A and B are shown apart, each in its own frame.
Chain A
Amino acid sequence: MKNTLLATKRLALSESGFVFDPVSGQSFSVNDTGLVILRLAQHQDDIEQLIEQLLEQFDASSVEIKRDVQDFIHRLQGFLK
């Protein structure tokens, strides 16, 4: 999970949510929430701090946000090999 978080730093992100990985050559799209997570992740190495930043932006419990972030990062792994 830590490695995936590090790998987000290399991603090219567009306003539309189109994402390109310059290392794997993979591209995919994320929704608005996914884009917020990726933008924060590009400046954050610690997943707990990332979750705290998301807590400030979204009206959801820390349990929900933690679960969603873990799920999101897990799915992201498939694209960033």
Chain B
Amino acid sequence: MSITVAVTGMNARADNPGPGLAIARCLKESATPMRVVGLGYEALDPALYHRGFVDRGYLLPYPSHGEDALLARIIELHEREKFEVLIPCLDAEMQSFARLAPTLLGMGIRTFVPNSHQLALRSKDRLPELAKEIGVASPKTQAIYQANFFHSCKTEDWQYPLMVKGLFYDAKLAYNADEAVAAFHRIAGEWGVPVLAQSWIGGEEINLAGVGDGEGGLAGAVMMKKRALTDKGKGWAGISIHDDELLAAAHRFCAVTKWRGGLELEMLRDTQGGLHLIEINPRFPAWIYLSAGVGCNLPELLVRLALGQKLVPTAPTPAGVLFIRYAEEAIVSLADFENITVWGETLRTEGAFA
């Protein structure tokens, strides 16, 4: 008997992939057979067409259409697919799913997501506050509403280079005010304000993906150092590591926030060996397949937690396991493309073009 799991984040684009396809792949490799339903937002979200990992694909209304439209679509799809678990994995949709979680549970769809309060605690503009609570350093961060800030910031003890970041996505290292202003307008145009200014710290970035059990514990974790980046700064290759300080910080984060669900800690080890919290993402990262690769399948763990199953303590994961991404073309029939474009789902009909 397989478990039907709906997964969002089907935008598996080569330079900046969403995590959905990697989550689906993990679920397909779990000990329990799982049927994966991919939920995308655009007809060209590549993972919708990956038949090996995604059994059926559907489109959701854009987040701008509101939560009522999102809920209505999920109700419609649930009637047909009978979702047992739903794993949202895009930053921009997490608040909506956090608010909808009780309603979804009432329908029999289990999520294992942080609540709105927990999401707010790790918001990028509140990072220094949280970092202090979990006992790590963090770069100075300020919410910026006006681009003028970048011309006057040197008088407020800021120095270039500095990071300009979107509240949900995107980050640019700016070496002077002109670059920072350009980044501000680009990011504000795409993601709105505030845009964040963050002081830049030189060093090596290290990451941890994990699952908080909702009771203050870290149910499982995998650590990774990126070894190659795309033009957008996303990991293209990485290697598993074991850093006790990073792991301890993740345990403290879960203890302080009682985090429920997937998470990614982005930390920076400076040239003196100090650890700085750069970002906490409230969902699995796109490199989550490495967790299955090192024998600690975190999406599977999350499904088990969502279903209320007892967990066996996870063994420490081995360091030195490398992942390297590659781009692959999916061949899509005109009928499939028609189905997604017109009906918002794969395999609705055999298609008029068959």
CB neighbours (8 Å) of A20 from chain B are 239, 319-320
Contacting B271 at CB < 8 Å: which of A23, A25, A27, A81? Answer: A81
Interface of A: prevailing SS: loop
Say yes or no: A22 contacts B271, CB within 8 Å. no
Say yes or no: B204 contacts A22, CB within 8 Å. no
Which residues of B149-208 are within 8 A (CB) of A?
Answer: 203-204, 206
B269 within 8 A of A: yes
Say yes or no: B273 contacts A22, CB within 8 Å. no
Closest to A3 in B: B273
Which residues of A13-72 are within 8 A (CB) of B?
Answer: 20, 22-27
Q: How many residues of A contact B (CB 8 A)?
A: 9
Say yes or no: A12 contacts B242, CB within 8 Å. no
- Known contacts A12-B320, A81-B204; decide if A24 and B271 are in contact (CB<8 Å): no
CB neighbours (8 Å) of A81 from chain B are 203-204, 269, 271, 273
CB neighbours (8 Å) of A26 from chain B are 225
Which residues of B223-259 are within 8 A (CB) of A?
Answer: 224-225, 227, 238-243
**A15, chain B: closest CB distance, angstroms:** 16
- Known contacts A12-B320, A81-B204; decide if A24 and B227 are in contact (CB<8 Å): no
Say yes or no: A24 contacts B269, CB within 8 Å. yes
CB neighbours (8 Å) of A23 from chain B are 241-243, 319
Say yes or no: B242 contacts A22, CB within 8 Å. yes
**A57, chain B: closest CB distance, angstroms:** 28
CB neighbours (8 Å) of B240 from chain A are 25
**A27, chain B: closest CB distance, angstroms:** 8
Distance in angstroms between the alpha carbons of A20 and B239 in the assembled complex: 10
Closest 10 CB pairs of A and B: A25-B225, A22-B319, A25-B241, A25-B239, A20-B320, A22-B242, A23-B243, A22-B241, A81-B273, A23-B241
A-B contact pairs, 19 of them (CB 8 A): A20-B239, A20-B319, A20-B320, A22-B319, A23-B241, A23-B242, A23-B243, A24-B204, A24-B269, A25-B204, A25-B206, A25-B224, A25-B225, A25-B238, A25-B239, A25-B240, A26-B225, A81-B269, A81-B273
